Chains A and B, each alone.
Chain A
């Protein structure tokens, strides 16, 4: 460096506005702000930490947080407590005496908390200098009036005494900017209680308290531990190798089911759970009066407890992480799964759970505003493991439900027999002979009517079952035939056609081959329809409620049937109203209606020698009700009472199932509509009328 040069030293300085901004923008809620300070006490090895709220309902109140932790000297205050944004707690660091994994709150969260009031005071006595007390007062107004942060002087006063102070720290936040509502106090109480895993059994666990009535009520509530009343207890864990396992116990603690890693992981074979070792407990309750009638605790008590603490809480390094398990938080999508499949799935209102990650090894990090973890791969793995365990539990419970249903079924018939005997015994006890006879007659009549009803239902079920089997078989064969024989015939014919055309003149082809080749091609088309029509009916998406354009669905069906209909010399007339009416429903239901009505007409034509076979599908609209009328020029409804045509098994066709119109009626009912019939329409044959409420018309 040349001697003539001078050097000026400069630093970046921060405007006091930054403090204001950070303080305000990082302040998520009063309960979270207080929890931030309480976590500092945890890190300082405090066993007790008391939060006192004074005159807080209006602005101007005071919050005090007092602990018996390690405390700080002037150096600790200057180079630790006052340094914002720096975390002196590096990953995996453990506390001095209790070896706690420190929560490692960044200084920024603390800033937000401390700025809740106008003035913030700190008094601290370190564990190794018990005769000294270090005090500091921060008046935030001074910052508001200064330009840069360093301009504000913060003197630390030191009190020397002959007697010992109690070790620990006391933070007072005075002259609060806002009032704290009753609801907030409840949230603070809940947050403090849940912070250090009250569900566990560790007697040395950190126990922060709040001096308030709300806290006492809630503390009593949490201490009730209704876990023994849970109907199922799921316990799942992941070990250090990423291998999971799970078990389900009943309320007596007996193991019902056990799952290995492979059972849990499902289709993602040979994968592990790429997360630190963890456990997941979930207690699921069947909240109905039957299950609770024999227990000591009442349904209402459990419901209140679950309403307050239900949900799945997450504890990282023994401290609870907000907001998992908060009221309204459903991070495992339990309520969604339950809505999709309500049977045997717990919701956040009917279960309570705890995920414990004893040492997260720094693999998880919380967002600065304390609204949960940053959703990295490790977090997703934890979530996946919990959801796999829940899925597995749901499957096992469904299995149990199925067994129960079978049992109920057989129990019902023996129950019916027993009831009948009881009725007969009761009638025998009637002394008046005339009355006795009368009662017997009435019971007899009732029984006959009931039997008839059961018989109808039974035959309906039988028919549905038979038809389902026929459908499954048809689908299998459709797949096979489409896959190979039809393909072989199609391609062979095409090849044949090409080769013949090469070998013979066009004239010869036309006179000797064209007609025969065309016949094969047409037959293949009709044959292919049989298969594809069956398979199309079974398409998965058709059973999903969507916006359905009715005319489009009808067009599709008519197109599918077309080769088959023209083969039978049947013409279809579509007499549609302008536009395309739509409703919300499954394509399968509208398809069932139209397909069965077409089938009915096709069968009707077989029985008579109708020339110019004709089917008309007409749509009309009155207000928001769409009428679909399917009429044909067949023989009309004969040899059967018009009102009986909707009943299952009622048919005049010896080869028919008698189920077509029953399905039509059921499908129409599902769509909120009604059915009607005209035994003889203007076309001469039957007309089936379907009325469906629609949402609108697409032009």
Chain B
């Protein structure tokens, strides 16, 4: 269901859990689907012994993709006009992520209203792993 401009106000929030105890297998799944086979995400031997990280870690784009579900569940299918993020901290196997969209502004016109959202995804320690924005078409 699409959002209605008349039901929204600045500061409204929508929160969803993206993943609980992120599994390495999901990183493999994302590598296969996206085509990004960087061993940093799936190859524990390379990542710990050569790259110098404590373990494999998630593709930034997996976090952006999971956060995208929170957004489309909120604004509706085929409604996004903009979506952009910065990856602010790495996401590791075992992480649990929660994501929040906050209404920043209601823009557009009376006939074609838009909502601007702040987007933030945090891990189980409250560390922001993704920070960004989105814009979506909403109903009057």
**Is chain B a partner of chain A in the same complex?**
no
